[in-house]
């Protein structure tokens, strides 16, 4: 039957319902601040929102959104190709291009549309794409639509990338290499200096998704490439407004003038209604804040290190390095669900991640840190995990250091 392929998910949903657990689609009844809310009737610390700089509740962003809605209305009701661009869309494109020090930018309605749209369009039949095996679902969706030959290289393994580029021979010079800055599930950072060196040796074009690293890394917040000192080696930067910028939407910027022609070949841009004026306005305000207030980034990393070190000291299996994304890996699905539920009961809302969204067969309790979290809130999150150990719901896998 048509619906047979969904039975596994239906069974999982039934299991969750029987256990009165709602880790997916939990209803938030009220947002109290950038770090607190009422979820499924509980007052909780929000530790799964990706609101890295806490700007979703910044009064300057809210004011800009309100004024834009009053001036321009609530929506654009069509695509920019059909309905034309609002001047605010063009202003944001100019500003985000300037932020990255390039001349060309496209703003998309979602981050998914940005990466999927670019990855489906840049390469086509007869071309070759090499992508990190742990790439985001939007990237995989895009490359599948491209019609290009797709080669996966081992996650964060520049030597494997180099080996596969060598095998391409002369084709390597026209290949599209795709990587991310910070990977969204475990919070690990791409070895961009080494990846850039491979590109310089064999050629090709580098597309970098900075969704989780824009605003979080780099001297001025441009992301992982800036932090690694390899921005000149990146041909296309993509990212989202729904993380550090506290809104929704996506972008691609490039030094290549061809991006202006590519714009009108991207179905995800051509056939999608453009972002609401309020979203554009709040994003512009947030971009200015990122530029002018580096202390937010410093606080984010203070919190990230505090949480990472705290969970690691408990002996929990966290990722390879501190990051605004701190995930605890577990092997048993039932135990992970129980832990998620216990964290909720302790007043901490995190993300529960199951395969294939997780980068392996493991299950994740995924925490995302914000500059808006207080040190006391971070300590409360750590204490909630310590409570899982005390209750016997999770067993430390390493000795505290």
Tens-digit pLDDT profile for residues 128-161 = 999 999 999 999 999 999 999 999 999 999 999 9
Same domain, residue pair 40 and 99: no
Q: Is the pLDDT assigned to residue 100 strictly greater than 80?
A: yes
Same domain, residue pair 248 and 193: yes
d(CA 254, CA 33): 35
Residue 2: inside a domain, yes or no?
no
- pLDDT band, very low/low/confident/very high, at 186 (cuts 50, 70, 90): confident
Residue 54: inside a domain, yes or no?
no
pLDDT at residue 8, rounded to an integer? 86
342-349 mean pLDDT: 96
User: How many other β-carbons are positioned within 10 Å of the β-carbon of residue 379?
Assistant: 14
Residue 53: inside a domain, yes or no?
no
pLDDT at residue 398, rounded to an integer? 61
Measured in degrees and rounded to the nearest 5, phi and psi for residue 212 equal -100, -5
Same domain, residue pair 227 and 367: no
The DSSP secondary-structure symbol of 46 reads: E
pLDDT at residue 400, rounded to an integer? 45
18-31 mean pLDDT: 82
Unique residue bearing structure tokens 């750590």: 382
Same domain, residue pair 272 and 313: no
- pLDDT band, very low/low/confident/very high, at 84 (cuts 50, 70, 90): confident
Residue 177: inside a domain, yes or no?
yes
Nearest one of 400, 390, 393, 399 to 365, comparing CA atoms: 393
> What's the token pair of residue 107?
């703003």
> What's the token pair of residue 66?
């309100």
d(CA 162, CA 172): 10
pLDDT at residue 14, rounded to an integer? 83
> What's the token pair of residue 217?
């890394």
Q: Is the pLDDT assigned to residue 358 strictly greater than 80?
A: no
Same domain, residue pair 305 and 269: no
Same domain, residue pair 19 and 147: no
Q: Is the pLDDT assigned to residue 343 strictly greater than 90?
A: yes
d(CA 291, CA 296): 10
Same domain, residue pair 282 and 303: no
Q: What is the mean pLDDT of the chain?
A: 94
Q: Is the pLDDT assigned to residue 266 strictly greater than 90?
A: yes
Q: Domains in the chain: how many in total?
A: 2
Same domain, residue pair 128 and 221: yes
pLDDT at residue 401, rounded to an integer? 41
In this structure, of 80-89, 237-246, 266-275, 384-393, the range with the lowest mean pLDDT score is 80-89
Per the structure, the complete domain to which residue 328 belongs is given by 8-46+294-390
pLDDT at residue 17, rounded to an integer? 81
Residues 6+ apart with CB under 8 A from 37: 28, 29, 30, 31, 43, 44, 46, 349
Nearest one of 231, 280, 223, 279 to 254, comparing CA atoms: 231
């Amino acid at each position: 039957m048509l619906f047979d392929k969904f039975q596994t998910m239906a069974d999982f949903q039934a299991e969750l319902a029987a256990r009165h657990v709602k880790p997916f689609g939990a209803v938030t009844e009220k947002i109290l601040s950038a770090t607190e809310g009422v979820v499924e009737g509980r007052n909780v610390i929000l530790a799964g929102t990706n609101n890295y700089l806490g700007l979703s509740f910044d009064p300057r962003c809210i004011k800009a959104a309100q004024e834009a809605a009053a001036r321009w209305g609530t929506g654009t009701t069509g695509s920019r190709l059909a309905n034309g661009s609002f001047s605010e869309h063009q202003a944001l494109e100019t500003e985000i291009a300037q932020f990255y020090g390039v001349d060309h930018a496209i703003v998309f309605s979602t981050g998914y549309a940005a990466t999927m749209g670019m990855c489906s369009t840049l390469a086509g039949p007869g071309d070759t794409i090499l992508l990190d095996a742990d790439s985001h679902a939007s990237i995989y969706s895009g490359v599948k639509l491209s019609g290009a030959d797709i080669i996966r290289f081992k996650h964060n393994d520049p030597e494997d990338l180099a080996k596969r580029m060598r095998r391409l021979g002369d084709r390597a010079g026209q290949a599209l290499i795709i990587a991310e800055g910070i990977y969204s599930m475990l919070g690990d950072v791409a070895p961009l200096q080494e990846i850039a060196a491979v590109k310089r040796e064999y050629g090709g074009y580098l597309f970098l998704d900075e969704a989780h690293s824009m605003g979080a890394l780099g001297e001025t917040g441009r992301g992982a490439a800036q932090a690694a000192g390899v921005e000149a080696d990146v041909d296309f930067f993509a990212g989202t407004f729904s993380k550090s910028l506290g809104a929704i939407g996506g972008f691609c910027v490039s030094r290549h003038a061809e991006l202006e022609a590519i714009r009108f070949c991207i179905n995800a841009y051509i056939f999608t209604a453009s972002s609401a004026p309020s979203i554009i306005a709040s994003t512009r305000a947030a971009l200015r804040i990122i530029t002018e207030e580096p202390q937010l980034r410093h606080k984010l990393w203070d919190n990230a290190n505090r949480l990472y070190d705290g969970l690691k000291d408990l002996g929990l299996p966290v990722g390879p390095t501190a990051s605004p994304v701190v995930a605890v890996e577990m092997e048993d699905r039932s135990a992970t669900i129980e832990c998620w539920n216990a964290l909720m009961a302790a007043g901490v809302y995190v993300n529960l991640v199951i395969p294939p969204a997780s980068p392996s067969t493991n299950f994740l309790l995924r925490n995302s840190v914000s500059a808006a979290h207080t040190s006391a809130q971070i300590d409360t999150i750590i204490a909630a995990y310590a409570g899982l150990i005390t209750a016997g719901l999770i067993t430390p896998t390493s000795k505290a250091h």
